[in-house]
Amino acid sequence: MKVLVTGANGQLGKCLQKQSKTTTGIEFLFETSQTLDITSEEALKTYFKEHQPDFCVNCAAYTNVEAAEDYENLAFLVNSEAVKSLSRLCKSYQTKLVHVSTDYVFDGLKLSPYLETDSENPINVYGASKLQGETMVSEHMDAFFILRTSWLYSEFGHNFFNTILKKAEDRAELNITTEQIGTPTNANDLAEFILNLITADSEAYGLYHYSNTGEATWYDFARLILEAKQLEKEVSLKATFSYPTKAKRPKFSVLNKTKVETTFETKIPHWRESLVGLLKEGE
């Protein structure tokens, strides 16, 4: 089986690279924005003609939520227009697509975890561009898995987890918001789920929510990082309700995982357990 992974230099792409080393029977094609620009339809056509992958995992995305407010055209180009081209080619070559989306397609006004059947209503450009990307997938092909995830972090790249660790090393004072409730998700867990999905060659296509279980504020997330690293006495961590940002964030964006857990008979780790596990792995 031949599996194309776009956006392979992002944190999810790097987690897939890490785990692919112990995955047998699959030829992985890890492509970065330098080696395969998904915003170029011609580049995609040439690539698919040459390689004809069985699966495509689309990790390529414009994910800077703040910058998307200023660069709306770029966000929609990467997160929607490019996804349309990719979906069309996947259908032409009978390539199954795993497309990664986000909890930010919701407005955050619900008080219980979001189901796949709940109405979307993004409140920022990033969320709107990702929702349009989902539409492009579902309109142009049938053999797809859309996986919405939330608050993704890992040991790779620029993310909240690594930012807190770096600031803790520098003994910087941390003011972290309690205004938003969601679920921190270890990208390694998502990568493992995706690889299992591919290995099983499942045909239970459709839209799914996948994040770690439980819920937290960003403050809770930061506090557990410091506690697990035994840095809570050395770093000043303060809770702040309001933290000004250019892009609006959903105040509540916990995802309901019942559908993915029952369909694929998978047990998803709690966010605290997964976070502590990653910190121990790095020691």
DSSP string, 86-116: HHHHHHHTT-EEEEEEEGGGS-S--SSPBPT
Token pair in block for residue 186: 């270890």
Half-sphere exposure of 173 (CA within 13 A, CB side): 4
Number of CB atoms found within 10 A of residue 95's CB: 23
Q: What is the pLDDT of residue 234?
A: 84
Residues 6+ apart with CB under 8 A from 173: 235, 236, 238
- The predicted pLDDT at position 218 comes to 96
Residue 169 is predicted with a pLDDT of: 87
CA angle (36 as vertex; 32, 40 as ends), nearest 5 = 135
Tell me which DSSP letter residue 256 carries. Answer: P
What is the predicted pLDDT for the residue at 209? 98
Q: What is the pLDDT of residue 190?
A: 98
The catalytic residues are: 126
pLDDT along the chain (283 residues), means of 10: 97 97 94 97 98 98 96 98 98 98 98 97 98 98 98 96 92 91 98 96 96 97 94 88 87 98 97 97 80
Tokens of residue 156, six digits: 């790779």
And the tokens for 254? 């916990």
By the 10 Å C-beta count (0-12 exposed, 13-18 middle, 19+ buried), 139 is classed as: exposed
